[in-house]
Structure formats: C-alpha cells, structure tokens
Amino acid sequence: MVSVTKTSASKNEDDIDLSRLVGEFIDHRKLIISVTSLFTVIALVYALFATPIYQADALIQVEQKQANAILTNLSQMLPDSQPQSAPEIALLQSRMVLGKTVDDLNLQARITPKYFPILGRGWARLTGTKNGELRIAKLFIPGANEDYIPKLQLNVIDNKRFEIVGDDFSFESDFGKLTQKNGVVIDIANISAKPGDKFYISYTTRLKAINDLQDSFSVNDQGKDTGILTLSISGSEPSLIKVILDRITENYLEQNIERQAAQDAKSLEFLNQQLPKVRGELDIAEDKLNAYRRKSDSVDLSLEAKSVLEQIVNVDNQLNELTFKESEISQLYTREHPTYKSLMEKRKTLLDEKSKLNKRVSAMPETQQEILRLSRDVESGRAVYMQLLNRQQELNIAKSSAIGNVRIIDDAITQPKPVKPKKVLVVIIGLVLGFMISVGLVLIRVFLRRGIESPEQLEEIGISVYASIPVSESFTKKINNSNKVKNVKAAEYQGFLALDNPADIALEAIRGLRTSLHFAMMDAKNDILMISGASPNAGKTFVSTNLAAVTAQTNKKVLFIDADMRKGYTHKLFNVNNDNGLSDYLSGRVDTEKCIKAISAGFDFISRGAVPPNPAELLMNSRLEKLLDWAKDNYELVIVDTPPILAVTDAAIIGRHVGTTLLVARFELNTPKEIEVSLRRFDNSGVHINGCILNGVMKKASSYYGYGYNHYGYSYSDKD
C-alpha cells in the first residue's frame, strides 16, 4: 500500500514538473516569439538576397565496347557483359577531361561585377538592374598560388577603353587589344557594359580551377547496367554552366574517339608485323608439302586421311583460340573461378580429342602420315593467315571511321528555375531553428535559475512563510512608463504605495501580513518588529514602510525606524529631511523627541541621519536599548528596517532587543542557500527568526500548479 502511494506521488510530481515547464514556455513567450521571428526574418532575407544557383544537365550513353583482339568475342564463355559505368564516371571527373575544359574556356580567369557588400548582388537582382558582361580572351596575373589569388579591378572608361587597377599599379588599354604591363597579360575580347561600371578580375591556379569544377560537377548512373550517364553542373551563371557542360561532354567524346583510334592503331601495327611472318611460314609449309609429293610421285590422301586432317586442323584452331582466351581470362579471374575451370575442361577435352586423332594417324602408313602432317601445317597456317588478314582489313576500316563507344543523347541545357536556395524550405528551417534555439534558451534559463520560486522552498528549509507579496501593479506601471532604464531602488523613490494606490494587490497581501503578525506577536517579549533580509534589493523597505502604513490605518500608534545608517532612503520616500536621525541620536547629538518626525501616512518616523563612519559601534551603544525601551512604552508597534544580514552585522545587533524578526526574500532573486546562511548568521548571534516574507512574486503560468500562495486574484474593482 505504501509503495502504491509513493508511486502515485512520484507520478503527480512528474505531471506537475511537465506543467510547470509548459508554463515556463508561456511565461517566456515574448522571448520565444522574438527569437523565432528574428531567425525567420534572417532566413527570409537570405532567401531573397542569396544568389540563385542554377543547374545544367546533359545525357550521354556509353555503348558496349567492340572486341579488337584477334580471338573471338568472350561473350560465348563469360556472363552477359554490360557496359561498366564506374570507369567512365571516373574518367569524366578526371583532371584530364576537366583540365582541358579549364584550358579551353579559360576558367582560371574569373570576373565578377563590383557590388555593394553582402546585399548588393541580391538587391541588384531584385530590382532588375542588369550588370555588364566581359569576356576575356587571355589573362595572366603573376603570383597566383594555392594560398593567394591575385585580384584586379577593371574600370570601364568608355566603349573603347578600360583601366586596370592593382595593388601598386594602374594602366589603361583598349578593348580587343592584347596588353602586357606590370607582369599582367590581358585581352578583353568582348564587353557589354556602361562607362563607369567596375569589375573584379581574379586569376586562380589551374589546379584550383579544376577542383572547383569537380565540386560543382557530378555524374550519375541513370540505371544499373544501362550505360546511360546523367551529367550535371551547378553555378550562378546559367549561360556559363551550359557552355562548360557542353565542353566537358565534347572533350570526353574526343578522348574516347582518340582512345579507340589509338587502340586500333596499336592492334593494326601488331598485325602488320605478324602477317609477313605468318605468310612466310605458310609458304615454307606449302613448299615442303609440294616437295614431298613430287618425291613420292604425287601421293594423295585417302578419304579417311582427309577426314582426320580436317578434324586435326579444327582441333588445332580451337586450341589456339583457347590459348588466347586463357591469357585474357587469367587477367580477370583466378584458377578457382568457374569460368576458368570451364575453359580448362574444354582444353582437356580438345587435347584428348587430338590425342585420339594422333593415334589414328599413327596407325596409317608412313607415307600417309607424312603427307597428313605436312597438309596439317599448311591448312592450319592458311586458316591463321586468313584470320589475320580479315582482322587487318577490319582495323583499317575501324581506324578510318572511329566514332568511339560514347553517344551524346541530350545536349547540355540549363533548367529555368534555380535549384538553390529553396526559399520555402529556407524560411521553414529558419522558423524551426529559431524556435528550437529560443526553447533552448528558455530551458537553460530554467535549469540555471536557482532563485526562490515558491513559498514551499522556504518551508522546506524550516522557516515559516508569513506572506507572499505579489509585484505591485503601480510599481510595474511606473517602471514600464519610465523613459529611462532605472534600477529598482530608484523606481521606489517615485512614490509611497500605501498613499498612491491603497487598493493595490501588493498592499492587500501586506494587510494579510498585518493580520498574521497580530497573532504571531501576541507571545513576543515586546511589540518591536525587525525586518531584515539576505541581500540588497529584496524589498525590506517596501514591506516595512507599507506595513507601518496599513497598521497605522487601524488606529494604532506606530513608529518606523530606518536602522540602515549606510544606505537608508526612507526619508526620500516620505519626502522629509534627514536631519536629526538615528545616527545623530546614537552619537548623542540629539534627544529622542527631536528625532521623531510625523508623516502623512499616519505614523511616526525616525530617519537614518547622517552616515556615520562606525554604524556597528553606534548600534552597540546603550542608547539604542534606551531608544527601543522608550519606543515600546510609547507605541503599540515599532518597526525597525535593517540592512541585509549577509552584508553587515547591524541586524544581528538590533535583533537582540526586538521581540519579532522577519526576513524578506525576493522572488527569483534570493536563493534558498542565501536564506539558510542568513538563518545561521542570526542563530549564531542569538537572534530567533520567526518567519519569512516572499516579496515580488510574479504571476506566472509556471506557478499555476504551485503552493497556493501565488494565487492572488482578489483586488478592488468597480465591477460586480
């Protein structure tokens, strides 16, 4: 039963934490909306002003290569061989093809119009301002390397002349004229610009130009084993990227044709060397056969011998073919590969067949054997020679009409719509990113916040909460309506809440404090109330002064003493002079009657007086005890406003003479640790703390599920 209760309680705590977290988001809605809006605006500006990136694409087909070897096509023995796209993709992206493109189009030279920084180019595009164009036939700027790219400025003087401005030089020249000055070689082939237009001209290295082209250029296989490749390139100039992509495809096609022609030329050179040798061997074999026939009186082969001869020649031809095939297959597969094993099995079968045929020949007469041997050499040589001769003619035809195995299907074309930036996506990303960052900031603020957020945090450290005072509505309006940013204390100088707005919600909470103190002080040793705090700006003066006012309204005789002789400012709040104050009395310069000042709020007041050099020593004087004894005999309530205990020890000295002591803690400003340290300070001095007042509580959505003190919904209203 106990475990069930604990589980339920833990679950409820989790629910409350989640609710408070949602409440924090509601409380920080202005921050979330502001940050999200900022990022959204930035994303929108980027989407509008960013240079659009266009894409050009082309389509090519890599056909299956034709065999150029002497042996027959391997397709009979190998699996279906489809075009291999990977080598061609690598070739397209190689420095050989792209480097020639860079050289052909002079891509090392880069020209950009001079715009206003950052937003100038986008603004020109949005306003429809057309910038001039230059085409450089030749350009060289010395000093270009990977770390430094020289840049020149070109100023258009008129339709015929221009000016080049460098780091430490300048010169003028004519359009269409090759100019060499200061190491710069430039030739402007064509220009379309107005006088006064300015351009930046830079000259990068060849390697960097190739690398930049590789970054923007991509090749994709359109489908497995189709041999169709999609070429695409992106850039900010639609016309230029189309020209570049066309040049890349042309250069790739040219090198493919050159490669095919070179391959055929090598094969043809080999055949031209082998044909005379094979022809010579064939003539020798024919001469030997004719000589033997003359010697043997023209012995002819029998039908059986002719059949055996044809079979032997056929087997020899197949073995020769297998030898060449084995040399090619050995480069592709290991001896354990099924294709290689199949080739070896076929070779073994042919060798067995040749052995059988040789046995049949051995059984023939000696004359028939010799004629058969010589005839076999002639027939085999003749077959090889005819094969080589036919291949020579094929290669001659192929070399003269080489077209390669690449076909351009679609020429390069630039898509009319830019591919980047995707404006809608950019704005959405900016919106989401801004929202996430704002939420992150809120969470960081929540996790780093260590201030007191509810009265229950004070009660957990063992101190009673007498009142939870909300932020004054009048005080908030004064802050918001102020033209200058002021601190809290300066704003408090502007008025006295008990007189300015008696119906303020904060004053209602102080009236509740008055009631709680009435019962709490019934058992106190005297009617002296000391109010202190842990740190400055906690609201001690605000609470004590208004408590004095609301108590005086009940027709009680109240004395308020400003015991903060260092920084007390209540005389400014009440708009009275600071003469003859507490410090003056303690130092013996004035009597008690001269210190008392009556104010319009209905209670008497003792100001701090002149700032003494030794406030703590004055408070330890016996005159303080005499003053408090006189005050408790002549007043129904004495309220002493003291400085913060963590700053000075004044409150600990005064606390030994009072009957009731309260601490003021500021909402989200003071931490529970500060209150604990303050309690220990007072305890070490022998001062008992009766309770605490939580001041400056703000009505927040995150506090909705809080302790209950924060639910201050009562206020004076004219509505029923």
Question: pLDDT, tens digit, for every residue of 523-556?
Answer: 888 999 999 998 888 889 999 999 999 999 999 9
Please name the fold of domain 455-696.
Rossmann fold (3.40.50)
**Is residue 255 helix, strand or coil?**
helix
- 212 Cβ partners below 8 Å, 6+ apart? 204
Provide the 3-class DSSP secondary structure of residue 387: helix
Q: Peptide bond before 365: cis, by omega within 30 degrees of 0?
A: no
pLDDT for position 68 = 42
Which pLDDT does position 302 carry in this prediction? 54
The pLDDT, as a whole number, for residue 369 is 64
Q: Residue 673 gets which letter from DSSP? A: H
Q: Tokens standing for 544?
A: 């004590």
Q: What is the pLDDT of residue 683?
A: 92
What's the CA gap between 405 and 228, in Å, rounded?
12
Contact by Cβ (8 Å): 611, 586: no
pTM > 0.85: yes or no: no
Token code pair at residue 108: 């090392």
Beta bridge partner(s), residue 59: 230, 410
pLDDT digits (tens, 9 = 90+) for 298-345: 455 555 566 666 677 777 777 767 775 776 677 666 777 777 778 888
pLDDT under 70 in the chain at which residues? Answer: 1-17, 64-84, 120, 122, 124, 128-129, 131-132, 225, 260-267, 289, 292-310, 320, 324, 327-328, 331-333, 360-373, 376, 392, 395, 397-404, 476-495, 700-720
Q: Are strands 528-533 and 637-641 parallel, antiparallel or unpaired?
A: parallel
- Domain ranges for the chain: 18-50+421-448, 109-203, 259-410, 455-696
Rg for the chain, CA atoms, rounded: 52
Q: Report the chain's mean pLDDT, rounded to a whole number.
A: 79
Strand partners, 200: 112, 153
Q: How many CB atoms lie within 10 A of CB 3?
A: 7
Helix (H) / strand (E) containing 163: strand 161-165
Give the HSE-up count for residue 245: Cα atoms under 13 Å, Cβ half-sphere: 30
- The helix or strand, by DSSP H or E, that contains position 491, with its residue range, turns out to be helix 488-492
- Tell me the two tokens of residue 660: 């009731």
Beta strands 406-414; 54-62: pairing state: antiparallel
What pLDDT score does 432 carry? 95
What is the structure's pLDDT at 248? Answer: 92
CA distance 76 to 538: 96
Number of other residues whose CB lies within 10 A of the CB of residue 364: 17
What are the backbone angles phi and psi of residue 465, rounded to the nearest 5°? -100, 115
pLDDT digits (tens, 9 = 90+) for 373-430: 677 677 777 777 777 777 767 767 665 555 667 788 888 899 888 888 888 999 999 9
Residue 644: CB atoms within 10 A of its CB come to: 22
pLDDT digits (tens, 9 = 90+) for 460-499: 888 999 998 888 877 766 655 554 444 444 444 456 787 8
Name the residue among 160, 156, 152 with its Cα closest to residue 197: 156
